Structure 1
Amino acid sequence: MVDLSVRANITRVSAVVVLGAAVLLGACSNREPSAADIVSALEREMSSELEQMRRVSSGLMGSYGTNPMGGLMNFKISNLEKIGCTENGKTAYRCNVNFEVSGGILGSTRQTRSGAVELLRASSGWTVSSF
């Protein structure tokens, strides 16, 4: 038979382990965005803006030909370096970044950009609120 004090100790240890795991998981949900998170958010934002531009320009062109804006805005982000982030509210961060942009009107030329990007944590992931 198992001694009742041993069983009580096992129960206490189990409760501490479960509580500790919950605290660690809760801390993970407040993490700042990674470089990959920032790239994904910027690409989603650019894709959304590109789609709006395509709609506007195709509306202007009507049935007169191909959309002149078709490939001009297809930018690609690469080599993003996250310099650092500061918390800006419970679900927002302001991150300083450096990255390269190519494609679209730039063609194969790569331009280096630096700046601050503000991100909000949404249910679908990180979203750019300003850049």
Structure 2
Amino acid sequence: MRTKAAALALAATITTLIAQDDTLAGYQPLVTLDPEAAAGALSADSQLVALVVAPTLTYTTWTSLDARFDVHLIAGQPGDMLAAWDILDNALDALATPLGADEAEPASYPNPAGPPWPAYTLTLTQPYQP
């Protein structure tokens, strides 16, 4: 599987998990690999974006690879940190364990029209076969 295909598969899994969670479905969520689509959705009042970025590949042996994905969970509430925190907590509750996340780190995501959007970066590692 190529890295793009692996990222698309992860995005499909996230989309399914979000669809199964009534709380997240109410946030007008978008799951994407495209940073421009993420910014556009957040600017258009989406309250939650999951941005899957290309993985870092680690050679664990000569013939074995791991893919480390970062998934940026971004709350479209730049002016209301407490509301954004609730959105991000709900997203972490719904996604971190089923995805087998290694880490969830607080972050922010650049907003071209104002203050940065609050975010968390989920990191997860999966075996990778090119």
User: Structure 2-normalised TM-score?
Assistant: 0.36
> TM-score under structure 1 normalisation?
0.36
Larger Rg: 1
Q: Between the two structures, name the one with larger relative contact order (CA 8 Å, sep ≥ 6).
A: 2
Structure number having the greater helix percentage:
1
